[in-house]
Amino acid sequence: MNLSRLFFFCLTVTFCAIGTFGYNLWDFNEILVAEISREFLDHMMWAIPTLNGDPFLEKPPLVYWITAVFFKAFGVKDSVARIPAFLFSLGTLFFTYLLGKNIGKNEKMGFLSVFLLATMGGFFLFSREILTDTGLLFFTMGAIFFLYMGANRSPTFYPFSFLFALGAFFCKGFIGMAIPGITFLSWIFLTRRKKELLRTRFWVWLPLTFIPIILWMRELLNYPGEDLLRVFLIHNHLYRFFPDSPEYRGGHSEPFFFYFKYLPLLSLPWIFFILFRLKELWKEKKESSVSFLLCWFLAGFIFFSLAGTKRPVYLLPLLPSLAILCAWIQRNNMESLFKGVICLSIGLIFLLLILMPEVNRRWTTKPVLKEIAPIVKNCEKIYVFRPQEILLSSIPFYLGRYILPIKDEEELKRVHGISKDSCVIVMDEYGAEKRRSEVVKRYFQRVLYEGRVPVRRKLTILSKE
């Protein structure tokens, strides 16, 4: 390895590691993934993810499996939970390097693509969190890379694209297979290379890909007491695409133009290089590599915009295409951009070192849970009034105690007479109307703790005198 490669490798690893390790888990999404992963060690029921002991089928289990393996090896800790995020980020940057290098036929373009992606706003923020989306990004990036190599180098690469698409499915469901699929199909349609579809031998590899999917779904179907297969396929796929159904309660429903507002923020600062050269880029769309990248971004953007539920993090799988497009635009003037990107990368590393302690202090529930631990330590049972996912995940993860949900105020009345050693946690959004309801005031008088948690919600523990 020559000095330039060693420098870029060390800088990339440092960039991904800073802000990832040595800090608590932050928002409820991170704690959710960590707790679901931890529960695999409790129940040893590897097919079905659980939260607070109940099946939780929003996502398939691959990211949870990987995190659970690290928990088993190194212990259940915040930093251990982030090891998969670190590896997924490095893996994504590695495939970005390979794809940029092959598209530009130049190693420098591969390195430039890596640092354009690493310093892009969306990747910079989300790659440091353990989310199912970081796993999805890695596997979709791998699938798209092998599709490109299969189409432009050798069809022997195609089986690997199906393997990575399978990994993407087990990270986030069929959307993981849809992203590389619509990229490749739209590129075939645009370039009129219909024979390329036959070269993939999809009639062989696609059925093989579905074998583990069918076996996993069979476990869902055989789960006693609940129709988990319907929950996974209908509620977490169909209803998320068409959230107007009265049965859907998942939230995140946004208008079609939602991503037009967030895409510039997620792709800062490099989106301006593309916007200023958009006309020139469009003229080069007949170039096979450029058309592949454009199909990747445009088809994916339209697909995500058509879906009823939207979140900024959903756009992560499209950011590598913008990074490589930006590198392509600057392929004849890479030296000057290189200097700027390297300086920005080093600046962001120092910024993370300065800001992360304060971010960690403000955006973690761990201090709150540590403070209430002595209060609930001797409680025979811990009840939660109308629990939300942040408590369903943080209390078991940090305190090692499963909770008993209270669905409504009538049930709250019945809980009052169960045990003198029980306590109730009440958590309501943006105010205290429900927390200060007559039922709560009547049956639970003494407020033991009240504090802010990072999702702007009140956390209060109440118990009987």
> How confident is the model over 101-149, as pLDDT tens digits?
999 888 889 999 999 999 999 998 899 889 999 999 999 999 999 999 9
Q: How far apart are CA 305 and CA 299, in angstroms?
A: 10
- Please count the helices (runs of H) and the strands (runs of E) in the chain: 24, 7
Give me the residue label for tokens 């180098």. 153
pLDDT, average across residues 267-287: 79
The pTM score is: 0.90
Lowest mean pLDDT among 78-82, 308-312, 380-384: 380-384
Residues in a beta bridge with 23? none
Cα–Cα distance, 117 to 270 (Å, whole number): 9
- DSSP assignment of 263-277 equals HHHHTTTTHHHHHHT
Stretch (H or E) spanning 104? helix 83-104
Burial class (CB in 10 A: 0-12, 13-18, 19+), 301: middle
Q: How far is 23 from 188, CA to CA, in rounded Å?
A: 45
66-80, 217-231, 353-367, 395-409 — most confident range: 66-80
19 closest CA partner among 368, 354, 394: 354
Q: What is the mean pLDDT of residues 83-94?
A: 95
DSSP-based three-state secondary structure for 436: coil
Per 3-state DSSP, what percentage of the chain is helix, strand, and coil (rounded to 5)? Answer: 65, 10, 25
pLDDT at 444 over 90: no
Q: What is the DSSP string of 18-81?
A: TTTSSS---SHHHHHHHHHHHHHHHH--TTS-EETTEE--SS-SHHHHHHHHHHHHH-S-HHHH
- Report the share of the chain in percent with pLDDT over 90: 43
pLDDT in tens, 327-362: 998 877 777 777 788 888 888 888 888 888 877 777
Q: Strand pairing of 457-463 and 423-429?
A: antiparallel
Distance CA 281, CA 289 (A): 12
Rounded distance between C-alpha atoms, residue 131 and residue 126, angstroms: 8
Torsional class of 237: left (φ above 0), alpha (ψ -120 to 50), beta (otherwise): alpha
In this prediction, residue 431 has a pLDDT band, given cuts at 50, 70 and 90, of very low
Reduced to 3 states (helix: H, G, I; strand: E, B; else coil), residue 238 is: helix
Domain ranges of the chain: 3-360, 366-463
pLDDT exceeds 50 at position 438 = no
Burial grade of 230 (CB within 10 A; 0-12, 13-18, 19 or more): middle
* pLDDT > 70 in the chain, percent: 87
Query: What is the structure's pLDDT at 386?
Result: 77
Which of the residue ranges 105-114, 244-253, 294-303, 451-460 would you say has the lowest mean pLDDT?
A: 451-460
Token pair 């003198």: residue = 420
**CATH 3.40.190 at 366-463, yes or no:** yes
